[in-house]
Chains A and B, each alone.
Chain A
Amino acid sequence: MPHPLLELNRLRVDFALPHGRVTAIKDVSFSLQAGETLALVGESGSGKSVSATAILRLLPEMALPSGTIRWHGNQDEEDLLSVPYKRMRRIRGNEISMIFQEPMTSLNPLQRIGRQIREVLDKHTSLRGAAANARVIDLLEQVGIPDPHRRATSYPHELSGGQRQRVMIAMALACEPKLLIADEPTTALDVTVQAQILALLKELQQRYGMAILFITHDLGIVRHFADRVCVMRHGEVVESAPTQELFECPRHDYTRMLIDAEPHGSKPPVPSSAPVMLDAKDLRVRFALKKRLFRPNEVFEAVRGIDLTIRKGQTVGIVGESGSGKSTLGRALLRLLESSGDIRFEDTELTHLDSSQLRPLRARMQVVFQDPFGSLSPRLTVGEIVGEGLRVHYPELTRRQRTERVVQALEEVSLDPTMRQRYPHEFSGGQRQRIAIARALVLKPQFLLLDEPTSALDRSVQATVIELLRTLQQRHELTYLFISHDLAVVRALADTVLVMWEGRIVEQGETEALFREPREPYTRELMRAAFLDQAA
């Protein structure tokens, strides 16, 4: 076996924080061969990004790394943690380059992108003048930026997120590095864009023969992208194996748990004779884009004429990419946004009710939002948050009765009811989401709008929340409208799926049928991207 290109040996990183030292990674060892793709997988806080960032010594100043990082680039072996700063600068962007998770903020907003790419060439190559400019155009072309001559003079804010990530890749490839470190490069992007970026990376890897260290939380990507996998937890590598082997017979419990946490299961459809819970006809939502004082506002139609029927006991999933109007649709159905068209909830026409007429109905239709950090009022205790609905709808309850029902609701979502005196900022993301569910549940609603309730959570936490939602549905005969961009979750939870694109429903049907045989081209593209079937 030849020398590995990169070898981390017992890497440890401490952070010197004002109130003491915190260990970010304890013991990380792995190696990477030339041309190989190694995936570093773990949930948030596992230390995967810290490990990757430590390789190029890009950690903040308060970080104190120890151990060795052996690099076998051009010449003799060297330890990246101890090479002189000057040598490190020759390695960065030249022998090893890096792309990041945040395409929107990783480029300098005040410089044209051509110049930002050229800077790498100026730094590490002898290309100058017209030759350098030609190389910039060539690179932009290679990463699939249309009209590269014009684009080279654009500023980052004139590009979409996917295009900016392409520019980052162009910059990283400028000196044909031996190793590319990709830190969650597609996490902030829509699935179809993600698929394109992954395909591009694969293609470029073959062309240049570079190794890729791919950091991700998404096992779906790992399976289709990596040769080998390192699983990290709490700052340690718990298992490392070739991809196929790891997925087929995981040895470590944690790996097994991660793989099991991929959403699975399905929901049988509801008989079509079930009573209608919610019905909407020709629903439209318009936003004023630019508010003007004396002229009519410029208007954007986010939801463009949607018909929708939800029957009792159903879980209707709505999928779509960002900007498809799915969240807007959900809010409009609950009359949280002004809309035109008709909405019926059971036997009540909602469309013309004002907020006081709607109030009694609010107890029967509730909502859980995506952001577990933003959806709980930060200055109220958990008890007050969960009990707020009771104050509105059952003002006759005594304080004691109210507490009883709050305790009951918290127990139902498996939270310790003694925690009700605490404040939201003391809870983890998953716990907060349970609090949000308890807040909805305490009113004993029949209908729940779930707007990306699991999207901000780690897979393992996500799995428990999904399980909770399933149990609650069965126990209370709830009807769900489940909005998500995550097709795997929707497939596991919903019995009917609507696919949205640009404010319209492009396709709908029973979940299994739709996932097995999507008819519309857009649905097909979405599926392909989400499950990376042919993309990789």
Chain B
Amino acid sequence: MTTETTTLHAQGASPHLGESLGREAWRRLKQNRAAMASLVLLTLIAVACLVGPWLTPWGLNEVDWTAFSAPPSLADGHYAGTDANGRDLLTRTLYGGQISLSVAVVATFVSLVIGVLYGAVAGYVGGRVDTLMMRFVDIMYSLPFMFMVILLMVVFGRHILLIYAAIGAVEWLDMSRIVRGQTLALKRREFVEAARALGVRGRTIVTRHLIPNTLGPVIVYVTLTVPKVILLESFLSFLGLGVQEPMTSWGVLISEGVDMMQGAPWLLLVPSTFLALTLFCLNFLGDGLRDALDPRTR
């Protein structure tokens, strides 16, 4: 049954000759409308956050003395209203998006570098080194991490660089496990053995045969890490333990919005919508990527 169903897939799949697995995955992803829509929307949000604050009629900390807690209005250029201090909410939200997204990119990158290196070394070297390294990860796993991060913020003050580092240092654990698992599985695959039998050097085996083949799961995991990181940053900021004035981020804005939600609900709704939409799209994209790269459909 199993063999026959797979052959059916093989027969049924329209052959695109000379196509690498990566391009095939991309083609499959393009057929996934939800994922593609998410990708487009994410790009739009990112572009809006990057250039938006320059285009809005109001500056980040510019106070409009005629409009405190003013509701959204097209007439006065406060398209999303103003906060209690008369500052333009749209400008602040887009600017906050810059911070949130920058945390997402930098912290994910930090976790990626640590996780991939750690996992690849543990998996490739194997033996006692692996056992020791993975036991360390196990111990780290059982730490109440969120609280350690908060502890860090309490102790060292709320600097943005610290947020990058702290969140990155928390999120690498899953990545290292995934990469290690992949490396271990690949190491036992016969094509790696064949490469060794050809006399290919260890370094070349890692760069040419191992790393390219771990890319798929790593990419999927990165798309799933980004929303986690954004969430973590907003969480800290919401509690008042993240970025500080004059900087702002979605978490900070949401927290301010909660205080004002009875009188000025837009203060809660606008940043919440941006945050939720971004997370929603990233999750959709991650799901889509996983389906596109899933070897079982191959």
Contacts and interface: CB of A to CB of B under 8 A. Distances in A.
B partners with A: yes
B200 interface: yes
Contact of A378 (B21, B130, B200): B21
Interface string B1-39: 111110111011111011111100000000000000000
Nearest to B13: A19
Given A369-B193, A375-B190, A425-B298, A49 B213 contact: no
A19 B14 contact: yes
A17 B9 contact: yes
A362 B9 contact: no
A60 interface: yes
A15 B7 CA distance: 12
A185 to B, nearest CB: 13
Given A19-B13, A291-B128, A426-B17, A60 B194 contact: no
A102 B131 CA distance: 33
Nearest to A356: B201
B194 A426 contact: no
A425 B23 CA distance: 13
A392 B199 contact: yes
Nearest to B295: A378
Nearest to A47: B4
B4 A293 contact: no
B159 interface: no
B8 A49 contact: no
A443 B21 CA distance: 27
Nearest to B19: A423
A60 B19 contact: no
A379 B189 contact: no
A291 B133 CA distance: 13
A22 B7 CA distance: 11
A196 interface: no
A218 interface: no
Contacts of B2: 102
A326 interface: no
A3 interface: no
A340 to B, nearest CB: 18
Nearest to A361: B199
A294 B209 CA distance: 33
A293 B21 contact: no
A127 interface: no
Given A375-B190, A423-B20, A24 B195 contact: no
Nearest to B20: A423
A183 B198 CA distance: 40
Nearest to B205: A377
B191 A375 contact: yes
Interface residues of A, number: 56
A374 B3 contact: no
A224 interface: no
B19 A17 contact: no
Nearest to B194: A375
B194 A367 contact: yes
B7 A19 contact: no
Contacts of A376: 191, 194
Contacts of A443: 198
A421 interface: yes
B194 A439 contact: yes
Contacts of A49: 1, 3-4
Interface centre among A53, A379, A436 (most CB of B within 10 A): A379
Interface in A8-51: 15, 17, 19-20, 22, 24, 44-45, 47, 49-50
Given A293-B132, A389-B199, A425-B298, A24 B8 contact: yes
Contact of B131 (A44, A291, A331): A291
B199 A425 contact: no
B12 A22 contact: yes
B1 A363 contact: no
B283 to A, nearest CB: 22
B18 to A, nearest CB: 5
Contacts of B196: 336
B194 A369 contact: yes
Contacts of A102: 2
B223 to A, nearest CB: 20
A423 B21 contact: yes
A293 B131 contact: yes
Interface string A399-424: 00000000000000000000001110
A44 B195 contact: no
A369 B128 CA distance: 29
Contacts of B199: 355, 358-360, 362-363, 389, 392-393
Given A53-B1, A291-B127, A371-B190, A44 B197 contact: no
A511 interface: no
B246 interface: no
A334 interface: yes
A351 interface: no
A20 B18 contact: no
B183 to A, nearest CB: 14
A101 B22 CA distance: 34
B194 A436 contact: yes
B189 A422 contact: no
A426 B132 contact: no
Contacts of B4: 24, 44-45, 47, 49-50
Given A336-B193, A336-B197, A379 B213 contact: yes
A44 B13 CA distance: 17
Nearest to B16: A426
Contacts of A334: 197
A377 B17 contact: no
A102 B208 CA distance: 35
Interface string A369-390: 1110011111111000000110
Contact of B1 (A183, A358, A374, A393): A183
A362 B191 CA distance: 15
Given A362-B197, A375-B190, A392-B198, A20 B12 contact: yes
A47 B9 CA distance: 14
B128 A293 contact: yes
B5 to A, nearest CB: 7
Nearest to A360: B199
B195 A388 contact: yes
A32 B131 CA distance: 58
B17 A19 contact: no
A22 B135 contact: no
Contacts of A367: 193-194, 197
A369 B197 CA distance: 11
B212 interface: yes
Given A49-B3, A363-B199, 11 more contacts: A45-B3, A45-B4, A291-B128, A293-B131, A362-B198, A369-B190, A378-B213, A421-B18, A423-B21, A426-B15, A443-B198
13 contacts: A19-B12, A19-B14, A24-B8, A44-B4, A45-B7, A47-B4, A50-B4, A291-B130, A365-B197, A371-B190, A375-B191, A381-B20, A426-B17
Q: Lowest 7 A-B CB distances belong to which pairs? A: A362-B199, A375-B190, A359-B199, A369-B190, A45-B7, A389-B198, A377-B191
